[in-house]
Amino acid sequence: MAGQRVAVIGASGYGGLQTLRLLQDHPHLSVSFLGGERSTGKRWSELVPFLPLADDLVVRAPDPDAIAAAADLAVLSLPNGLAATLVPDLLQRGVKVVDLSADYRYRSLARWQEVYAAEARQVTRQDGELCQEAVYGLVEVAEARIREARLVAAPGCFPTASLLALLPFLEQGLIETGGIVIDAKTGTSGGGRAAKENLLLAEAAEAVAPYGVVGHRHTSEIEQLAAQAAGQPIQLQFTPHLMPMVRGLLATVYGRLRDPGLTAEDCTTLLKASYRHSPSVQVLPVGVYPSTKWVRNTNRCLLSVQVDLRTGQLIVMSAIDNLLKGQAGQGVQCLNLLSGLEAGTGLPLLPFYP
């Protein structure tokens, strides 16, 4: 299926902007509807003159009837809790949805309400069945299911980088399920476009700062998928850090090997086999470690493995662009699959360096 019309809701945020930029060059998908709240009634060229659209659309209120009349697919780039107010009506009208927020990443509505308690207090949700129906949109893991879905919940940027590094080893039972540690660094764009004090230049520049050290929301999202891969519950340690850069994310994942005889070459071979049909994932040679600059403005994930034979520790490094493979690019991969296309259609894989 080709020639699909796409509505982008939350178009002027970072996720929406990246989505629109990717769809500009897409051979089979076109933007037919722009939705927003604060920007309703404004022409796109007034809001974002640096990213002209072929059709200079007017931003409209995200009314389900209007969206369904204009689009076959919808990407929702909205704050957590807001997508759930639109999704049931869009699905009822036959619009397939890719949600970039966390509203449908959990199989249990009660779990979402627990993790996102502040948002849950502001919205009333009764769509538990949709939480169970939604497909977690990590394309390299769930491609076949995404193709058949109505609703796809695109993963967060930290879970994307972490799970691509971790899942093959859990699926094969090569690492202990206890003692997994994820140390991750991200650029300031991961905090969104709305003004926040900790993201000001004077605050974030020339500094590295941990945050959400215990109980970060993405911990439970990573654990949910890790447990499915391992076939048993998993608790792991996840610590994010804010870096003085705009975009990019590096996750370093540590796990204890069950077989101390496994080498970095063995583990690299496993990763290459796991992602042999995944053009967006590249496994680097042993001893070559990824830089966020190597994936900047691309939809690629770079993976590298090392093994500390002294401690029996597996170390997997994963670099992505947090706004592309970690958000909008992954969303477009899901749109492609929903449209019957190859997942990587229209997506950049090579950076402009440096």
Query: Any idea which residues carry the catalytic annotation?
Result: 157
Indicate the DSSP class of residue 189: G
Angle, vertex CA 32, rays to CA 27 and CA 36, nearest 5: 125
CB atoms near residue 173 (< 10 Å)? 13
Indicate the DSSP class of residue 199: G
d(C-alpha 191, C-alpha 199), whole Å: 7
Q: What Cα–Cα distance (Å) separates residue 181 from each residue in 162, 166, 176, 288, 343?
A: 10, 10, 11, 21, 30
d(C-alpha 119, C-alpha 217), whole Å: 12
Q: What letter represents residue 149's amino acid?
A: A
d(C-alpha 17, C-alpha 8), whole Å: 9
The alpha carbon of 258 is separated from its chain's Cα centroid by a whole number of angstroms, namely 30
State the Rg of the chain over Cα. Answer: 20
Quick one: which of 84, 91, 36 has its CA closest to 68? Answer: 91
d(C-alpha 332, C-alpha 154), whole Å: 10
Q: What letter represents residue 47's amino acid?
A: L
Pairing mode of beta strands 301-308, 313-320: antiparallel
* Token pair belonging to 350: 């090579």
d(C-alpha 98, C-alpha 330), whole Å: 10
